[in-house]
Amino acid sequence: MAEPGRGRLERAREDYLAHLAVERGLSDHTLAAYAADLRRYTSYLSDRGHRSLSGVAEEDVASFAEALRSGSDGRTALAASSASRVIAAVRGWHRFALAEGLTTIDPSAEVRAPAPSRRLPKAISVEEVERLLEAASLGEGPVPLRDRALLELLYGTGARISEAVGLAVDDLWLDDEAPALRLYGKGRKERMVPVGRYAAEAIEAYLVRGRPELARAGRGNAALFLNTRGNALSRQSAWAALQAAAARSGVAEHISPHTLRHSFATHLLAGGADVRVVQELLGHASVTTTQIYTQVTAQTLREVYASAHPRARG
Active site residue 160: yes
pLDDT at position 307: 65
In tens digits, the chain (314 residues) has pLDDT values of 334 444 889 999 999 999 999 988 888 899 999 999 999 999 999 999 999 999 899 999 999 999 998 899 999 988 888 899 999 999 999 999 999 998 999 999 988 876 665 565 678 889 999 999 999 999 999 999 999 999 999 999 999 999 999 999 999 998 778 899 999 987 788 899 999 999 999 999 999 999 999 999 988 899 999 999 999 999 999 999 999 999 999 886 678 888 899 899 888 888 888 888 888 888 887 777 677 777 666 666 666 566 666 666 55
CA neighbor of 40 nearest in space, from 79, 88, 73, 3: 73
pLDDT at position 313: 58
> Above pLDDT 70, what percent of the chain?
88
pLDDT at position 300: 61
Catalytic member of 258, 276, 302, 305: 258
DSSP string, 53-119: GGG--HHHHHHHHHHHHH-TTSS----HHHHHHHHHHHHHHHHHHHHTTS-SS-TTTT--PPPPPPP
Residues 94 and 102: their CA atoms lie apart, in Å, by 9
Active site residue 293: yes
Strands 190-194 and 180-184, by their bridges, are antiparallel
Domains with residue ranges and CATH for the chain: 7-99 (1.10.150), 126-254 (1.10.443.10)
Radius of gyration of the chain (CA): 28
Active site residue 261: yes
Catalytic member of 24, 51, 186, 189: 186
Residues 141 and 245: their CA atoms lie apart, in Å, by 16
Are residues 93 and 16 in contact, defined by beta-carbon separation less than 8 angstroms?
yes
Catalytic member of 69, 160, 211, 267: 160
Task: Indicate the DSSP class of residue 185.
Answer: -
pLDDT at position 244: 93
Strand partners, 150: none
Active site residue 267: no
> CA-CA distances (angstroms) from residue 196 to 76, 80, 123, 158?
51, 41, 19, 11
Residues 195 and 189: their CA atoms lie apart, in Å, by 19
Catalytic member of 16, 44, 206, 293: 293
Total residue count of the chain as it appears in this document:
314
Q: What angle do CA 102, 106, 112 make, to 5 degrees?
A: 140
Strands of the sheet containing 180-184, edge to edge, are 172-173, 180-184, 190-194
Task: Summarize pLDDT for 46-68 with one digit per residue, the tens.
Answer: 999 999 999 899 999 999 999 99
